């Protein structure tokens, strides 16, 4: 009714309530908005703990996120990086990318730590090495369109962007579901697969 997109309403709430430069507070403010006001398709705190645990176990130097949306998971990933590590996050929708950029900077991460790239993933992935300096990723987080998961995993393989022993973490593979991606990951012989059971966010 206000004419203001939901994403911008959420960002206005962040500006009013989040502590700048405090990524944990930015995330908890996002969570409060989603619990009390309007649902956002963010990772959320329950699945967020799985992401944090895997980051702590792997300590990746180069992280690639496919599906920035509003920047929630980018802030979550950046907060869990070891010193000197870098996150490359790909926003498919330009209007979401504009909000995510502000959220990431509000949380205190500059371009040396988090590089936001806007564009379709099938266009961005082949350009990551030459145009963005990402030789290989140690950790990939997928949370964009589920029908693109398999296509983009194959693109990462084709362009040799997965470091030896890399972790690929994909959200919502059971619901709404990415069955072709899941079948490929289980049967192609290149991956050891593990399902993390979790509820839908919020």
**Catalytic annotation, pick one of 146, 152, 157, 186:** 146
Residues 59, 172: Cα–Cα separation, whole Å: 23
Q: Is 138 a catalytic residue?
A: no
Q: Is 143 a catalytic residue?
A: yes
Residues 89, 72: Cα–Cα separation, whole Å: 11
Cβ atoms of 18 and 31 closer than 8 Å = no
**Catalytic annotation, pick one of 7, 31, 65, 201:** 201
Cβ atoms of 23 and 79 closer than 8 Å = yes
Strand ranges, E, within the chain: 62-66, 86-91, 114-118, 137-142, 162-170
Q: Is 110 a catalytic residue?
A: no
Cα–Cα nearest to 15, from 73, 98, 99, 87: 99
**Catalytic annotation, pick one of 31, 65, 152, 171:** 171
Residues 135, 160: Cα–Cα separation, whole Å: 8
Q: Is 157 a catalytic residue?
A: no
**Catalytic annotation, pick one of 143, 152, 157, 186:** 143
Catalytic residues: 143, 146, 171-172, 201
């Amino acid at each position: 009714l206000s004419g203001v997109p939901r994403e911008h309403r959420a960002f206005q709430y962040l500006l009013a309530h989040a502590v700048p430069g405090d990524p944990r507070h930015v995330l908890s403010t996002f969570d409060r908005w989603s619990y009390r006001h309007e649902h956002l398709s963010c990772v959320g705190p329950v699945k967020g703990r799985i992401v944090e645990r895997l980051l702590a176990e792997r300590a990746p130097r180069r992280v690639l996120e496919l599906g920035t949306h509003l920047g929630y998971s980018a802030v979550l990933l950046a907060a869990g990086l070891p010193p000197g590590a870098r996150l490359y996050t790909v926003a498919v929708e330009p209007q979401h990318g504009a909000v995510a950029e502000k959220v990431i900077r509000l949380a205190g991460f500059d371009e040396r730590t988090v590089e936001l790239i806007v564009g379709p993933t099938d266009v961005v992935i082949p350009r990551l090495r030459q145009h963005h300096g990402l030789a290989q990723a140690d950790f990939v987080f997928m949370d964009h369109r589920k029908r693109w998961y398999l296509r983009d995993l194959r693109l990462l393989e084709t362009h040799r962007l997965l470091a030896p022993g890399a972790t690929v973490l994909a959200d919502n593979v059971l619901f709404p579901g990415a069955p072709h991606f899941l079948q490929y990951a289980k049967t192609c012989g290149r991956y050891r697969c593990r399902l993390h059971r979790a509820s839908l966010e919020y």
